[in-house]
Amino acid sequence: MKKILPLLLLTAAASQFWACGADTRSPVMDKNVKLETATLAGGCFWGMEEILRELPGVEDPVVGYTGGSTENPKYEDVKTGATGHAETIQLHFDQAKISYGAILDLFFKMHDPTTPNRQGNDVGSQYRSAIFYHGEAQRAEAEAAVKRAQASGRWKRPITTEVTPAGKFWPAEEYHQDYLKKHPGGYTCHYVRD
């Protein structure tokens, strides 16, 4: 298991989003800013949340479950793999500060998109790699991001990331929210790869 690198030492692809070390996220949403939604699954949601919440323009990351058939799923059900849900992070972002494509490019650097239903020690369909798109523009960008990631040479095996329409998102239980903030040094299999 690898620990998440200190945020200031993340790869150049991630660090390009920081503005001279200043926190550019606004604690109060500007009513004139139109936020878009991104919904991503790439293994245990704790580590994904830890990395993505630090990006400028990202607001309100929430971990939860999507992609399954059970209404209002709970962790105890999702962890069995029987509900069809994936552990997911849903966030809102300001397109003027960060693009959907940039978020997806980082997504493909922070998990292994070539291992179906697995990330590190976490095994099961709830740990699959998936992009749940909101609208046709996101679908097209997701498909382009998959192609960029495959062409990058970073991954020797084929990418298995699902690109599928977003359905109902169910927030996870409160103890999962901001888990690595509450438990520094807790388990994660996510880190940014060069």
Which of 44, 55, 63, 189 does the annotation list as catalytic? 44
Predicted confidence at residue 31, as pLDDT, reads: 66
Entry field: residues in the chain: 194
The CATH topology of domain 7-22+39-182 is Peptide Methionine Sulfoxide Reductase; Chain A (3.30.1060)
User: Which pLDDT tens digits describe the chain residue by residue (194 residues)?
Assistant: 344 333 333 333 333 333 333 333 344 455 677 899 999 999 988 888 989 998 999 998 999 999 999 999 999 999 999 999 999 999 999 999 999 999 999 999 999 999 999 988 899 999 999 999 999 999 999 999 999 999 999 999 999 999 999 999 999 988 888 866 887 886 766 667 77
Q: Give the per-residue pLDDT at 8.
A: 31
CA distance 178 to 194: 25
Stated pTM of the model: 0.81
Does the annotation mark 20 as catalytic? no
Residues 132 and 77 sit within 8 Å (Cβ to Cβ): no
Contact 69, 110 (CB under 8 A): no
Determine the pLDDT at residue 182: 81
Stated as kind and residue range, the H or E segment containing 146 is helix 136-151
